[in-house]
Amino acid sequence: MATLPAVEIRRMVCQGLEEDLAQGDATTSALFSSPVPALAEIIAQQSLVVAGMAAAVQTFLMVDPSLRLSVSKRDGERVKDGEPLLQIEGDGRSILLAERVALNFLQHLSGIATLTQRFCQAVRGYHASILDTRKTLPGWRALQKWAVSLGGGINHRRSLSDGILIKDNHLALLQRTRRPVERACRLAHARRSSDLPIIVEVESLADVRQALTGKPDIILLDNMAPDLVRRAVTLIKKQALVEVSGGITLKNVRAMAAAGADRISIGALTHSAPAATISLVMTLTQPSRRRRS
């Protein structure tokens, strides 16, 4: 299972609580002047892949270390509609303080993991891998890419330093040179300081031919229909890995895999995944001595 450093989770939780609680909770303070014993349960309201549980737990404990937590489902587990994810017992005021931030982590990250899983299931039977992109929220990249991996996807570059990816705007600055796609690949080979992969984005079969002469590690077919992808794969003949990107949806991703793509990169995994439907239900209770798990 994919793991995320505890320090990264703590950083994000601190940031979330600072945003929400810097000036306190006016509503809870107005209604409750003393502890209110309560029991809360976080419940999935759809089938989903859990992501963000570690952050949710950290959120509640950072607000109030005396809260007693019982985790039913951990990060990476699949759950069905109606299944409990987490139980929290203690002062209801503390639960209210942490509720929104904890749910934000669970809903957003579980949404990413769940969408990723759907894409992975859609290409089952083919050798194509589902990859994310750098289209992430500032500060959230580590968590969003972690959620992708929990859903079965593979992380593409984590930063600009993780590979040489020659895109359309790089090529636009080389348009005055002869055969810019080939030229860009040759420059990358000559100047890379390590074994970083060289990926070049192309938009036509003519560009593919230029790329093959430049010998990149991966040729990225941008916004091509499945039939054109198939023709490009035939032209490439395994001289480079084939990646497809641009306009990938659950309706066409299987066709892209069937056309012979090795990698399918999808920005929507992180920038457009719908939040998972998860709720917190709270009731009054009597204090208990249950141990935190």
- What are the residue numbers of the active site? 100, 135, 167, 201, 222
Relative to beta strand 68-71, strand 84-91 is antiparallel
Per DSSP, the three-state class of 275 is coil
Q: Do you know the residue count of the chain?
A: 293
In whole angstroms, what is the distance from residue 214 CA to residue 164 CA? 14
How many CB atoms are located within 10 Å of the residue 288 CB?
A: 11
Which strand (E) or helix (H) includes residue 122?
A: helix 92-122
Distances (CA, A) of 226 to 112, 116, 255, 260, 261: 25, 21, 6, 9, 9
Q: Return the DSSP state at 128.
A: P
Q: Return the DSSP state at 154.
A: B
End-to-end CA distance of the chain: 20
Distances (CA, A) of 4 to 1, 56, 146, 217, 257: 10, 14, 7, 29, 29
Which strand (E) or helix (H) includes residue 224?
A: none
- Name the token pair of 22: 């810097």
